[in-house]
Amino acid sequence: MMSDRYRIIHCLNQFFGGLGGETEAGLAPVLQKGSRGPGQLLERLFPGAEIAATLICGDNYMATNTETALEEALSLLAPYFTGAEAERPSLLMAGPAFAAGRYGIACGAICQAIAERFGIPALTGMFPENPAVSLYRKEVLIVRTAQDVMGMEAALRDMASLAGKLLRREEILPEQDNYLVQGRRRNVFDPETGARRAVRMLLQKMRHEPFVSEYAMPTFDRVTPAAPVADMGKVRLALVTSGGIVPQGNPDRIQAASAQSFGTYPLKGLSALSSVTHQSVHGGYDPTWANADPNRVLPLDAVRELETEGAFGSLHEFYYATVGNATSVAMARSFGREIAQRLLADGVQAVILTST
């Protein structure tokens, strides 16, 4: 019979690990004995659990150097799996990361790597729209959490409950244990035939009664296209990009992945971009050619030619830029809403949106 005492490895980013904020996001993995930050609450919520060590890594370091960071982390943890079996960790828990994309990538990556290398269960917690969910949900157990840290206690409570079931080798189900569906199918026997179940659900739907489909269909946003521009010759046009083209030095420190912000940059007096003035900070493609000629992603040179030819009225004197790489739908929607409001206030009637 398995012991009621569980040794756990907990993974946190630099902020929750107490090592600093955004200035320390480039921190390489470090290992500290015992619990830190949320881990102390986790121990109170998880009877019998003891956090043997806390692995801490900077958000940027893990998101932009994933393979290197994972090998460093696994090397730090290896000694915990070479001692007496009774002293080895039983489980790894990461986060929760909530809606933070870079943190989510770190949590998902370390959970998958630990499970594969050391053969122990691993789980994390994320808001369903965290971009890391689509990357790791099939391989990693991800508990559904609130969007931000206000949901910390509830997230840790659900993570502890799921962890306990895993360690006791009990059956787990997404609906009962509040983890995100992994797309796996399981055979079950039901006393009612499929035809009867289908008719019952149809009648419930017709009576506007609640019911749960046995095969959940995906949902997609439907965006109504804007009306065509009536007279381009009078239009004020703006450039917007998710391709990560920013002034040299990245003054707003836009992240290479899972962007948390966008930047507003001047175009007045510029006929084209150059490698001296602008660069790509996008972490999802090889930026070599974009850095050599940033017009390849933000085509200011071509747009200025069209402006001179009278193809449109005038070019807005600012452009907006962010990075689309692993940026959450919720964050991208927020960016789009705010940028659109600013453009409308500035009298812009049309936008060219470039990506990669």
pLDDT of 90 strictly over 50: yes
Predicted pLDDT of residue 1:
35
Would the pLDDT of 323 be above 90?
Answer: yes
Q: Facing residues of 351 across strands? A: 238
pLDDT at 125 over 60: yes
CATH no., domain 6-177: 3.40.50.2300
The residue with tokens 């703006």 is 238
**Domain extents for the chain?**
6-177, 232-354
Asked if residues 138 and 183 have their Cβ atoms less than 8 Å apart, the reply is yes
Report yes or no on whether pTM surpasses 0.75. no
Percent of the chain residues topping a pLDDT of 70: 97
Tens digits of residue pLDDT in 251-298: 999 988 888 899 999 999 999 999 999 999 998 889 999 999 999 999
Would you say residue 127 has pLDDT above 70? yes
pLDDT digits (tens, 9 = 90+) for 340-351: 999 999 999 999
Which pLDDT does position 329 carry in this prediction? 78
**Any long-range contacts for 131-135 (C-beta under 8 Å, 24+ apart)?**
131/101, 131/104, 131/105, 131/258, 131/326, 131/327, 131/328, 131/329, 132/97, 132/101, 132/104, 132/105, 132/107, 132/108, 132/258, 132/326, 133/104, 133/180, 135/105, 135/108, 135/326
Average pLDDT over residues 24-44: 92
pLDDT for 86 equals 63
pLDDT band at residue 84 under the 50/70/90 scheme: low
> At 193, which amino acid appears?
T
- pLDDT score, position 345: 95
CA distances from 253 to 173, 187, 212, 260, 352 (A): 41, 49, 45, 10, 24
166 in Cβ contact with 181 (< 8 Å)? no
Where would I find the H helices in 299-348? Answer: 300-309, 329-345
Backbone angles phi, psi at 256, to 5 degrees: -70, -20
**Would you state the pLDDT for residue 2?**
44
Q: How sure is the predictor about 152, in pLDDT bands with cuts at 50, 70 and 90?
A: very high
- CB under 8 Å to 97, separation ≥6 — which residues? 13, 103, 104, 106, 107, 124, 125, 126, 127, 130, 132, 145
